[in-house]
Structure 1
Amino acid sequence: MPGNLCVLSTVNCQQNIMKTKLITSMNWIGLGFLEPVIRLLSGEEPLKNLTEVGKNLFLPLASVLAFIVLWEAGAHKLYSIEADRKVQKVLTEQGKDAAVQMRKCIDSGEKECKPNSLPSPSQVYAACLSLLADHRMIAQDKKSFTDKTAKVNAMRAKAGQSEIRYTGRPSFVDQIGTSLKTVFAGVLLSMFIAIPIGILLGLSETLRTSINWLIQILKPVSPVVWLLLVSMVIKTLLTDSTMDKSFLISFISVGLCGMWATLVNTSMGVASVDKDYINVSKVLRLNVWKNIYKIVLPSSFPLIFTGIRITVSVSWMVLIAIELLAQSPGLGSFVWEQFQNGANDSNAKILVAMFVIGGIGFLLDKIMMTLQKLLTF
C-alpha cells in the first residue's frame, strides 16, 4: 500500500485512504457486507464487485420478499380455512340463513365476525402503526400529568414526602425500555458473579474439579425454577420494602439463567493461558493481582467475551418468559396481555412484538461482536 500511495495522485491517494477507512469501519461495526458496494462506487473491479453486491444484498432482499409473499399466501389460506369453519359452525347450529349472513359479514370485513387466524403482513404493519400512535398518546398524557403535578410534587419534595407518580398503563415502547433495562441489569449481575468465579476456577484445577458437579447441575435449570427460587428469597427478605419487587426478581432471575456461559468460558480461558506467559510472570515475580490483570485476563479475554455474548443472547431469550411470570411491565407482559385480550388486532400485535424481540436480539449480538473486536487484543 505505501508504494502505491507514492505513485498515485494526491486526490486518488486521499480517496483510497478514505475508502480504506470506510471499509475498515464497516467491518468493525458488522456491516462488512457493504464493502462490495463501496468498492463498486469507487470504480474498483466493477464486474467482480457487482457480483458480490448481488450475492450480499440482492439475494437477501429476494429472500425477504419471498418470505413476505409466502407469509401473505399462508395467512390468506389460514383465513379462508378459519372463515369456512366459522360459517360451517353457524350452519350447523343456526341454519342456512344465519350461515349466509355470517359469510356476508366475513366478506365485508366487519370486526365482530372476522376470523381469528394468522395476521397478514399488512395487518402486522397496521398494528405497528397503531402501537406507535398509542405510544404518542400515552406520552402526551404523561407530559400533561407531569405539568399538572409539578407544583404539588415540588411542595411534597420540600416536605420530605414522595412525589405523585403517573400510574397509567405503559406503552409498547415503554415496555421495550423496561425489558432492555431488565436484561442490561441481568447481564451486569451475571458478569459480576461469573467472571470472578470463573477466574478462580481457571487458576485452580483442584477447585475446578471439586465444584464442577455443582455447575453441571445448576447450568441446565429452567428459568421458571430460578424465578420461583428468587421470588421466595426476595419476598422473604424484602417483605416490608417499597422497592419494585417484580423488576428485582426479573433481573436477578435473568442474571442467574444467563451467567453459566460466561462462567464456563472464563474458566476455560483462564485455564488455557499459554504456560510460557505464566512462566514469564513467575520470573518477573508478579503478585497475584498483577498476574491476573497483566497476563491472565488479556490472554483469556476472547473466550470470556464469547461467553458474555452467549450470556446476552440467553438472557434476552429467557427474559420474555420471566417477565410474563413475574408480572414485570416488559415485552413478556405485553405478549401475555395481548394473548389474553383476544381482540381482533391482538395476533398482529403479538407478531409485532415477536419481530421487535428478534430484531433487538440481533442488534444486541452485533453490538457485542463490535465490542469484542474493539476490546480484544
Structure 2
Amino acid sequence: MATVFADAHDPDTPTIEAAASSVAGKVAVPEAESATEKKPNPAVSKAVAFAKGLIAPTLGILGFLALWAVLAPQVDTSLGALPGPVEVFEQGIALTEEWSAAKEAEGQFYADQDARNASAIASGNPGGVREFSYAGPPTFLDQIFTSLKTVALGFILATLVAVPIGLAAGLSPKFNAAINPLIQIMKPVSPLAWLPIVTMVISAMITSADPLLPKAFVISALVVMLCSLWPTLINTAVGTASIDKDLLAVGRVLKLGTFAKLTKLVLPASLPYIFTGMRLSLGVGWMVLIAAEMLAQNPGLGKFVWDEFQNGSSQSLARIMFAVVVIGFIGFGLDRIMMSLQGLVSKNRTI
C-alpha cells in the first residue's frame, strides 16, 4: 500500500512544480515587458512638447492675419484701401524680383566693361581701358545689409564705450555717484535730438570728397551708439557692483594687479549682466536706426521707408508695410542671437 501510494504521488509532484513555475514565468515576463513599454522616449517627449508649444503662437499669428485681412479693406487712405496680408506678400515678392533683375543688370554691366577693355587691349590701345563702378540704385536687400552694417558699427562702438565705464562705475562708488546724474539725464534723449548735433559735428570733421566711410553711414551709426549704450553701461555697473566681496578679497590676498583682477575676477563674474545689457542695447539700437536713417538719408531700411512714403504710388503703402514686417523679423532674429550668446557665456563662465 505504501508503495502504491508513493508511486501515485511521485509523478504528481514535478507536474505541480512545473505548472507553478510555468505560471510564475507567464506572470513575470509580461510585467517586465510592460515596464519597458511604459518608459517614455526622451526624443519623442521633446518633439511632442515642442509641437504643443507651437500651437498657441500659430493660432495667435493666424488670428492676427485673419483680423488684418478682414479690417484692412475697410480703412481708406490717401493711397487707397489699406493693404491686406496678400498684397503685402505680393510686394515682398516684387521687391525680391527687382533685386534679382538689378543683379543681372550689374553683371551685364561688368561683362560689357570687360569686353570693351579686352577689345581695347587687343587693338593696341591700352589707354582706352576704363574701370567704372556700377552706379545703379540700391535694392531692398542691399538696403537691409546697409542697415545691418550700420547697427553693427553703432552697437560695437556703444559696447566699447559702455563696458569700461560700467566696470569703473561698479568698482568705484564715488565714480558711480559722479556719473549717475549724467546717465539719468542723457539716457532718455531722443535720437531725433541727437541727429542735428551729430550731423553738424561729423560734417565739420569729414570734409573729404571721397571719405573712407560715407558721411550718412557714420552719422547714423553714431546716433545708434549714443542712444543704445545706456543699457549696457547700467547693467555692467550693476553686475560689477554685485560681485561677491570675498572674491575681491581673495584677489587682494593674491596681490593681483588691476588688469589681472579685471580679466580673472571681475569680467567673468559680470559677463551675464554685461550680455543682458548688450542684448537690450542691440534692441534699442535697431529701433533707433530706422529714424536715424530716415533723416540722415543713409541708404538703409529707414531711407527705403521714407522714399516709399514720398513716392506715393499705389504700391507704396504695401511696400512700407512689408518693410515693417522685415524690420520686426530682423529685430527678433538679432534678439535671439544675443540671447543664445548670453546663454553660452553664462554656461561656460569660470566663476
Q: Does 1:360 align with 2:324?
A: no
Shift of 1:162: 10
Q: What is the aligned length?
A: 302
In the alignment, structure 1 residue 132 sits paired with structure 2 residue 96: yes
Task: Tell me which residue corresponds to 2:185.
Answer: 217
Q: Confirm or deny that 1:351 pairs with 2:315.
A: no
**Alignment identity in percent?**
43
2:86 corresponding residue in structure 1? 122
Residue deviations 1:24-69 (CA, integer Å, cap 9, x gap): xxxxxxxxxxx8552x4xxxxxxxx5xx733x11222111111111
What residue in structure 1 maps to residue 4 of structure 2? none
Partner SS state of residue 336, structure 2: helix
Query: CA offsets per residue over residues 248-301 of structure 1, 9 Å max, x none?
Result: 111111111101111111111111111011011111111000100010011111
**In structure 2, what is the equivalent of residue 53 of structure 1?**
51
CA gap of 1:291–1:163, structure 2 versus 1, over 3 A, is farther
Contact 2:74 2:82 in 1 (8 A): no
- In 2, distance between residues paired with 1:319 and 1:235? 19
Per-residue CA deviation, residues 111-166 of structure 1 (Å, 9 max, x unaligned), is xxxx61210111111111110110101111111222233478999xx99x995222
- Alignment partner for residue 306 of structure 1, among 256, 260, 276? 276
Matched with 1:99 is none
Q: Is the 8 A contact 2:99 2:139 kept in 1?
A: yes
CA distance in structure 1 between the partners assigned to 2:189 and 2:45 by the alignment: 45
Match of 2:208 in 1: 240
- Given residue 135 of structure 2, which amino acid in structure 1 is its aligned partner? T
1:64 maps to 2:61: yes
Asked if the contact 2:166/2:237 (under 8 Å) is kept, the reply is yes
Residue 170 of structure 1: aligned partner: 138
Unaligned 5+ residue runs, structure 1? 1-6, 20-34, 41-48, 87-114
- Residue 288, structure 1, aligned to residue 278, structure 2: no
Q: 1:153 to 1:293 in 2, by over 3 A?
A: farther
Give the 3 Å change call, closer, same or farther, for CA 212–163 of structure 1 in structure 2. Answer: farther
Residues 71-90 of structure 1 mapped to structure 2, 5 A cutoff: 71-78=68-75
1:1-377 equivalence runs, <5 A: 19=43, 36=45, 38=47, 40=48, 49=49, 53-54=51-52, 56-78=53-75, 116-150=80-114, 164-243=132-211, 244-376=214-346, 377=349
Deviation at 1:223, TM superposition (A): 0.5
Q: What letter matches 1:147 in structure 2?
A: A
The runs of 4+ residues in structure 1 deviating greater than 4 Å are 150-155
What amino acid sits opposite 2:177 in the alignment? T
- In the alignment, the residues of structure 2 paired with residue 163 and residue 299 of structure 1 have an alpha-carbon distance, to the nearest angstrom, of 54
Structure 2: runs of 5 or more not aligned: 1-31, 121-125
Alpha-carbon RMSD: 2.7
